[in-house]
């Protein structure tokens, strides 16, 4: 929940990602219209599973498409942890977004307690099982204990989780969890890490561009 329309326009004017890297930006709902046409594909941070109806506060796939939005994040760890998103809700949102013609970044990942109890693989299996197969869908692995904490999974832990996910679902898998310019190249050098879902480091245009450049190394 950062950057209103004016800040979003200023960000895009300053943001210069390198050529050869697939990049999208995911501003809040109020800034989507301002971001469309800014030179970078725009994704929403969430999407509802119905086209319309009595769902106050939600936004549907067709509404996003009408704005010029090309995709959506679904099941982000903050949606799961703070707003009670379930695996079934994530599935329904994914299916509706894909049916509407949006691309999807579907998020999965374990909490700190689940990792400490040795449940990482079981959690990933359960969450990935709910995600549909589609050419327009990629998965983002977000270890919840690394979201907004400054802690990052080691490249070895990230690789292990990505390998597990790819054995369950044949798609590209991004790593999300305190990715920043200092660690992006090492993380994305892992054989099963196909890119990054960038959080706090994406709020500054040069920092985000540096992460994008790391994808080329």
Reduced to 3 states, what is the DSSP secondary structure of residue 175? strand
Q: Indicate if 156 belongs to the active site.
A: no
Distance CA 117, CA 37 (A): 46
- Location of structure tokens 């390998």: 163
Question: Which residues on neighbouring strands pair with residue 139, listed in sequence order?
Answer: 106, 173
- DSSP for 84-124? ---HHHHHHHHHHHHHHT-EEEEEE---HHHHHTT-HHHHH
Q: Which of 76, 85, 110, 169 is an active site residue? A: 76
Kindly state the helix (H) or strand (E) to which residue 129 belongs, with its residue range: helix 120-129
Quote the CA–CA distance of 142 and 109 in Å, as a whole number. Answer: 5
Report the alpha-carbon distance of residue 114 to residue 137 in Å, rounded: 26
Confirm whether 142 is a catalytic residue: yes
Task: Please give the structure tokens belonging to residue 99.
Answer: 């049916």
Cα 122 to the center of its chain, rounded Å: 21
Per annotation, catalytic residue among 48, 85, 142, 162? 142
Token pair 């809700």 in the structure block, residue: 89
Catalytic residue positions? 76, 142
């Amino acid at each position: 929940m950062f950057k209103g329309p004016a800040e979003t326009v200023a960000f895009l004017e300053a943001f210069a990602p390198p050529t050869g890297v697939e990049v999208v930006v995911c501003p809040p709902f109020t800034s989507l219209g301002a971001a469309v046409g800014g030179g970078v594909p725009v994704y929403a941070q969430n999407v509802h599973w119905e086209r319309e109806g009595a769902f106050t506060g939600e936004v549907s796939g067709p509404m996003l498409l009408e704005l010029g939005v090309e995709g959506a994040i679904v099941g982000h760890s903050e949606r799961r942890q703070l707003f009670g998103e379930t695996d079934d809700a994530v599935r329904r949102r994914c299916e509706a977004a894909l049916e509407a013609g949006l691309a999807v970044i579907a998020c999965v990942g374990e909490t700190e307690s689940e990792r400490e109890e040795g449940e990482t693989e079981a959690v990933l299996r359960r969450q990935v099982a709910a995600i549909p197969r589609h050419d327009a869908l990629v998965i983002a692995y977000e270890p919840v204990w690394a979201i907004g904490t400054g802690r990052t999974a080691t490249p070895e832990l990230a690789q292990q989780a990505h390998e597990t996910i790819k054995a369950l679902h044949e798609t590209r898998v991004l790593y999300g969890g305190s990715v920043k310019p200092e660690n992006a190249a090492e993380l994305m050098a892992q054989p099963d890490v196909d890119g990054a879902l960038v959080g706090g480091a994406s709020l500054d245009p040069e920092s985000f561009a540096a992460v994008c450049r790391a994808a080329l190394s």
